[in-house]
């Protein structure tokens, strides 16, 4: 950042391909050392998987689709902005509905609303609200603890089998997404045993959420062992 005079840092909090997770304390440290740097984060593979406080994250802009861990279906998402951002951006255009059909309001509407592009789906937003309320009833602390236990267990077992890359093995913490070393035959064996997974890159991606259990990870490990 110092050597290259970087003003904007844009990154995914969790990488969709292999679950590589950014240390949030690292981002907070960057913000303290370089308060002028705008940190823009993609939270699609992150939001809903663990506890998160945007106001204390050091992140300036967070955008996320809600279909993934928030379980809110396709076609909706959201963006969060820190107080600093409004003074850093100058929007050239806004959506028709953002100004309520009156472009004379362009310079008077609140900052966040300027990013609403056009015709919005109240049903889609309703599905997001339903999920957020549902997560709230369960408790994000409980979800975060459960997912953390699943991640640790999966990482430990996959590491024993030599199925993880060095960059994942050497991280102190990881998300609930794993891309394991597996060929086509192993992928088919997992599918045949009712394991929902996907071929991504050179491996197979497995993902876990609060509705999964440790016994399910045990079952996957047994399949992986018998298929080698």
Instruction: Decide if 67 contacts 38 (C-beta within 8 A).
Output: no
User: If we measure between CA atoms, which residue out of 196, 192, 215, 199 comes closest to residue 207?
Assistant: 196
* Residue 85 shares a structural domain with residue 97: yes
- Asked which of 112, 138, 164 is the last residue of a domain, the reply is 138
* Residue 131 shares a structural domain with residue 92: yes
- Asked which of 88, 112, 138 is the last residue of a domain, the reply is 138
Give pLDDT tens digits for 81-122: 998 888 888 777 777 778 877 878 777 888 888 887 777 788
- Give me the CATH number covering residue 50: 3.40.640.10
Mean pLDDT to the nearest integer, 47-69: 95
Mean pLDDT to the nearest integer, 28-38: 95
- Give me the CATH number covering residue 174: 3.90.1150.10
Give pLDDT tens digits for 145-200: 999 999 999 999 999 999 999 999 988 889 999 999 999 999 999 999 999 999 99
Query: What is the pTM (predicted TM-score) of this model?
Result: 0.89
- Asked which of 111, 138, 165 is the last residue of a domain, the reply is 138
């Amino acid at each position: 950042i110092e050597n290259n005079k970087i003003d904007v840092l844009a990154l995914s909090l969790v990488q969709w391909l292999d679950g590589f997770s950014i240390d949030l304390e690292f981002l907070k440290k960057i913000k303290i050392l370089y308060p002028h740097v705008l940190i823009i984060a993609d939270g699609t593979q992150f939001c809903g998987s663990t506890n998160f406080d945007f106001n204390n994250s050091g992140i300036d802009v967070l955008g996320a689709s809600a279909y993934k861990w928030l379980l809110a279906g396709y076609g909706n998402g959201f963006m969060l902005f820190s107080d600093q951002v409004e003074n850093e951006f100058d929007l050239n255009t806004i959506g028709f509905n953002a100004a309520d059909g009156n472009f004379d309001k362009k310079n008077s509407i609140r900052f966040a609303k300027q990013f609403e592009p056009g015709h919005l789906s109240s049903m889609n937003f309703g599905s997001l609200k339903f999920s957020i309320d549902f997560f709230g009833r369960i408790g994000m602390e409980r979800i975060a603890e459960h997912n953390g236990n699943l991640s640790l267990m999966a990482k430990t077992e996959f590491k024993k089998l030599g199925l993880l890359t060095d960059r994942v093995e050497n991280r102190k913490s990881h998300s609930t997404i794993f891309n394991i070393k597996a060929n086509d035959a192993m992928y088919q064996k997992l599918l045949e045993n009712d394991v929902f997974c996907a071929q991504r890159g050179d491996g197979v991606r497995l993902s876990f959420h609060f509705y999964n259990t440790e016994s399910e990870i045990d079952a996957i490990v047994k399949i992986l062992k018998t298929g080698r």
